[in-house]
DNA sequence: CGAGGTACCTGACAGC
DNA sequence: TGCTGTCAGGTACCTC
């Protein structure tokens, strides 16, 4: 799934392309991805005619601020990606705005489309159909329990070292799991957590409570560093993620550990290892990332 | 309460 | 070939 840099790249692309447009219709062949309001028919009725005033991100959610005090929230989960294209109503296909070769089989997995008033569309492609779409009253969204409970945004200026320590304070668990929890810090997933821990030279299974002040400082810097690199490079596309033009992000070559099992550590030459815990894989260098 | 497992889906790939 | 098992960028919900 897209993590913070991929979602940020998506928001940037959407802002450039669809700000101030109005929704004229919506299509889906997997209507249950719309969780709010209670059914797709009602969603269709309510979204039609709403204008896009703002597009922003909170944690890994893409949020469209709409006219009439509404907000459209889309979470792309593991394999979703949003793209802007032109209408092709014969078969509900995504077509890029500018014709050209795209290696994708995007349309096989196109399950949701928002049609705009300029003959363009926002298309959601999602192999695993985990993505969710919700239309909220904006005030209710901002006041909702799950929204308020989200952790701080690591790329905000307000996310100081002090705020970072505050977020981790009292947490038990292993450091990788803790920093991936969206209710501790927003936006960090399986790739960027492994990458940040490599830069900080911290073992992913080390207890977060056992981190020294020096390690905390390193980790704080490393999180900002890898997320900034991800944003600068338009995200990573090791698997399904694509930007709004259907193209790949460029972070893949920056990976130091993620999906590099048995390859050499770029720092010390040891073989990168993979361990499973918390239901996820962690990649790390057993030699230079200390101990658990 | 926190930790851990499972559910939601489909596809790619390894091994037999 | 075709089966089975594992894994894949996330998170919500359940049980212990």
Q: State residue A83's pLDDT score.
A: 96
Instruction: State the greatest distance between any 2 C-alpha atoms of chain A, in Å, as a whole number.
Output: 60
Report percent pLDDT > 90 for chain A. 88
Name the active-site residue from A17, A60, A129, A255: A60
**A201-256 tens-digit pLDDT:** 999 999 999 999 999 999 999 999 999 999 999 999 888 899 999 999 999 999 99
pLDDT tens column, A13-29: 999 999 999 999 999 99
Q: CA-CA distance, A229 to A224, in Å (whole number)?
A: 9
Distance CA A144, CA A210 (A): 33
CB A203 within 8 A of CB A219: no
pLDDT of residue A100: 78
Residue that is written with structure tokens 């990458």 in the block:
A195
Asked whether the beta carbons of A85 and A97 are under 8 A apart, the reply is yes
d(CA A197, CA A12): 27
Whole-number Å distance between alpha carbons of A114 and A22: 10
A61 nearest nt, CA–C1': C10
Residue A113 has pLDDT above 90, yes or no: yes
Give the helix ranges, DSSP H, for A58-134. Answer: none
A160-CA/C1-C1' distance, Å: 58
User: What percentage of chain A has pLDDT greater than the value 70?
Assistant: 99
Residue A161: pLDDT over 90: yes
pLDDT digits (tens, 9 = 90+) for A252-268: 999 999 999 999 999 99
Residue tagged 């893409």 (tokens): A62
First to last CA, chain A: 27
Q: In Å, how far are A87, A93, A111, A132 from A243, measured between CA atoms?
A: 18, 17, 17, 18
Residue length of chain A: 292
The pLDDT-based confidence of A283 (bands split at 50, 70, 90) is very high
| Mean per-residue pLDDT, A154-161 | 97
Residues A24, A52 contacting (CB under 8 angstroms): no
Nucleotide nearest to A241 (CA to C1'): C9
pLDDT of residue A10: 97
Task: Measure, in angstroms, how far nucleotide C4 C1' is from residue A104 CA.
Answer: 29
Q: What is the mean pLDDT of chain A?
A: 95
H helix count then E strand count, chain A:
8, 12
What pLDDT score does A105 carry?
A: 74
Protein residue closest via CA to C1' of B2: A172
| Nucleotides of chain C touched by protein CB (<7 A) | 7-12
Please say if A97 is a catalytic residue.
no
- What does DSSP assign to residue A153? P
CB A130 within 8 A of CB A78: yes
Domains parsed from chain A with CATH numbers:
4-148 (3.20.190.10), 161-284 (1.10.8.50)
Question: A185 near A152, Cβ under 8 Å?
Answer: yes
Give residue A103's pLDDT.
Answer: 66
Whole-number Å distance, CA A80 to C1' B9? 12
Partner residues linked to A36 by β-bridges: A134
Give strand B nucleotides closer than 7 A to any protein Cβ. 2-11
- At residue A1, does pLDDT exceed 80? no
- Kindly list the protein residues whose beta carbon lies within 7 Å of any strand B atom: A 32, 108, 127-130, 172-173, 278-279
- What are the tokens at A120? 């363009």
pLDDT tens digits, residue range A72-108? 999 999 999 999 999 887 778 999 998 877 767 788 9
Half-sphere exposure (CA, 13 Å, Cβ side) for A130? 9
């Amino acid at each position: 799934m897209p993590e913070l840099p991929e979602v940020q790249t998506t928001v940037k692309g959407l802002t450039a392309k669809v700000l101030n447009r109005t929704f004229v219709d919506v299509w889906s062949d997997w209507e249950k991805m719309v969780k709010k309001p209670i059914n797709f028919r009602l969603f269709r009725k309510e979204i039609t005619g709403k204008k896009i005033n703002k597009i922003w991100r909170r944690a890994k959610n893409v949020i469209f601020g709409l006219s009439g005090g509404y907000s459209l929230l889309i979470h792309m989960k593991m394999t979703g990606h949003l793209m802007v294209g032109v209408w092709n109503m014969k078969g509900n296909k995504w077509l890029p705005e500018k014709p050209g070769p795209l290696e994708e089989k995007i349309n096989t997995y196109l399950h949701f489309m928002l049609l705009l008033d300029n003959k363009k569309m926002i298309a959601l492609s999602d192999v695993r159909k985990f993505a969710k779409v919700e239309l909220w009253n904006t005030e209710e969204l901002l006041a909702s329990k799950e929204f308020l409970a989200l952790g701080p945004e690591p790329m905000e200026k307000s996310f100081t070292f002090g705020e970072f320590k505050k977020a981790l304070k009292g947490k038990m668990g292993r450091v990788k799991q803790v920093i991936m929890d969206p209710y501790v810090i927003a936006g960090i997933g399986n790739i960027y957590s492994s990458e940040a821990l490599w830069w900080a030279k911290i073992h992913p299974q080390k207890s977060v409570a056992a981190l020294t002040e020096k390690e905390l400082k390193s980790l704080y810097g490393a999180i900002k560093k890898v997320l900034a690199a991800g944003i600068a490079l338009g995200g990573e596309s090791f698997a399904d993620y694509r930007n709004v033009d259907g193209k790949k992000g460029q972070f893949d070559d920056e990976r130091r550990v993620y999906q590099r099992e048995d390859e050499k550590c770029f720092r010390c030459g040891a073989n990168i290892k993979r361990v499973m815990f918390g239901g996820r894989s962690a990649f790390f260098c057993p030699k230079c990332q200390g101990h658990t």
